[in-house]
């Protein structure tokens, strides 16, 4: 009897405790979903798509979140930070991000922002198309970088292999200086370095436009999703409204940069050491456009598929699955 009474009292106590446990109200749930960190870390390379971040870092997000902007010099530096989950947002080349994702690094594509900034530049007479490079020396940015993988793709499409020419790998800023000084004749360079070369060596000219060449091969409406903004999934899950706030601010500032590069050119010169006149002029040949990751899925999958066909190592051995694309 005593045992039975004890069980009844225990049951009643459990029910009372459960009943007293506070169930979050709708308002509290909404507040939780809207919470923001005090500061986020964003990393980006010395590139046109970084320009909007310079302004954002100075102003912070409209929600009051401060931005710690890190300008990285190499892919290795950026990769280390992503793997250690030390950056909330990172501008990365699309194929590098695919490699990381296929190694189970927990990131998602928030937006594609860079759709074509690469050009084949030459100071050599007789170099007018890709197959004229046979037997020549060509300078390209680091092995495995976007300039490298796309150059190999276009060489392949024009009947050339790496063995048909001498490819020398250096950092793009160093290559630009060599073209300007006459120490190199043929190079693949991104904007705004292309503009810098054209302004400082009157023999330099653009031979091939990667954006146009991609559309010639893949079709007139094909996009060339070279690089994008990737978000740490742990940050996105901890602060659901952060991504929305960041995406909106970046989209608006990127559009402003494209429409009025002069408005941010002085900041670019101070922070990225790119002369203001060079940056302003380079925007004419820079295809910057904000497209949410999920909406860019078709172009990204085509792009990565072509690289996968050429060399599986370029994308980490396989195409990333649908979780690679951040859902809005």
Structure tokens at 135: 């037997």
161 shares a domain with 198? yes
Q: Is residue 248's pLDDT more than 80? A: yes
110 shares a domain with 145? no
| pTM across the whole model | 0.88
Q: Is residue 20 part of a domain?
A: no
193 shares a domain with 243? no
Domains: count for the chain: 2
Dist. CA 154–CA 302, nearest whole Å = 15
Q: pLDDT per residue over 260-303, tens digit each?
A: 999 999 999 999 999 999 999 999 999 999 999 999 999 999 99
Residue 236 sits in a domain of what CATH number? 3.40.190.10
Could you list the residue range(s) of the whole structural domain that residue 155 is in? 118-218
314 shares a domain with 192? no
User: Partners of 114 in the beta sheet?
Assistant: 227, 288
How much is the pLDDT for 119?
Answer: 98
Length of the chain: 328
Last residue of a domain, one of 170, 188, 218: 218
Helix (H) or strand (E) holding 28: helix 26-33
Residue 69, burial from CB neighbour count under 10 angstroms (0-12, 13-18, 19+): middle
Range list of H helices, 207-275: 210-218, 233-238, 240-259, 262-272
Task: Give percent of the chain above pLDDT 70.
Answer: 90
């Amino acid at each position: 009897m005593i045992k039975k009474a004890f069980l009844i009292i225990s049951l009643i106590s459990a029910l009372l405790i459960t009943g007293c446990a506070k169930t979050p109200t709708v308002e509290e749930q909404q507040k939780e979903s809207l919470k923001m960190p005090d500061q986020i870390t964003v990393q980006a390379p010395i590139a046109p798509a970084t320009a909007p971040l310079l302004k954002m870092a100075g102003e912070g997000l409209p929600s009051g979140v401060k931005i710690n902007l890190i300008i990285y010099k190499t892919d290795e530096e950026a990769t280390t930070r992503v793997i250690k989950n030390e950056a909330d947002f990172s501008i990365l080349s699309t194929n590098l991000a695919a490699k990381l994702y296929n190694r189970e690094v927990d990131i998602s594509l928030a937006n594609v922002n860079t759709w074509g900034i690469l050009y084949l530049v030459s100071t050599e007479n007789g170099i007018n198309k890709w197959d004229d490079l046979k037997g020549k020396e060509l300078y390209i940015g680091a092995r495995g970088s976007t300039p490298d993988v796309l150059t190999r793709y276009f060489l392949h499409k024009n009947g050339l292999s790496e063995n048909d020419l001498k490819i020398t790998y250096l950092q793009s800023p160093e290559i630009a200086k060599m073209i300007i000084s006459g120490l190199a004749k043929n190079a693949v360079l991104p904007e705004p370095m292309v503009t810098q070369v054209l302004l400082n060596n009157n023999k330099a000219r653009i031979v091939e436009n990667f954006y146009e060449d991609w559309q010639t091969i893949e079709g007139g409406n094909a996009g060339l999703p070279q690089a994008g903004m990737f978000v740490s999934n742990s940050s996105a899950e901890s602060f659901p409204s952060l991504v929305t706030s960041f995406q909106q601010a970046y989209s608006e500032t990127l559009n402003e940069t494209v429409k009025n590069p002069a408005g941010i050119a002085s900041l670019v010169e101070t922070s990225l050491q790119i002369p203001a006149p060079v940056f302003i002029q380079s925007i004419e040949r820079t295809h910057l456009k904000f497209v949410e990751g999920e909406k860019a899925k078709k172009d990204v999958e085509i792009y990565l598929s072509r690289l996968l066909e050429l060399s599986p190592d370029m994308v980490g051995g396989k195409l990333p699955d649908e979780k690679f694309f951040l859902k809005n």
